Amino acid sequence: MIDKDKLISLLISKEIPVKTTRRYKTIGYRIKLESGTAVYVYDSGGFFCQGNNADQVRKAIEDEIIDEPNNKVFVVYGHDKTARNQLQRLLEELNLEPIFSIISL
């Protein structure tokens, strides 16, 4: 996962010249490189390369990105608060972060 500022810093550190940066729709940014490659970095943390040298740019970025582990677990439960609390304790013991959503019938 990467954001716009980290990606631009990474590109500059790899001596890949950045030409322009602009908001792309409502989902991220489009970073245009001097080579003509466009790198789209999404608010979700993903990215996509398109155009000249896209594979080389993608590889340069991927070589530097370390995926952060996602320890969040989405849990849907009913009205049994005891079971919910027991599950929460178990998940926390396993270093997982429960995200609870109640289901109503």
pLDDT at residue 68 greater than cutoff 90:
no
Distance CA 34, CA 49 (A): 14
Per-residue pLDDT reduced to its tens digit, 7-23: 999 999 999 999 999 99
**Residue range 26-67, pLDDT digits in tens:** 999 999 999 999 999 999 888 999 998 999 999 999 888 876
Q: Is the pLDDT of residue 105 over 70?
A: no
47 bridge partner residues: 41
pLDDT confidence of residue 70: 78
The answer to whether the predicted template modeling score (pTM) of the entire model surpasses 0.75 is no
> Is 104's pLDDT higher than 80?
no
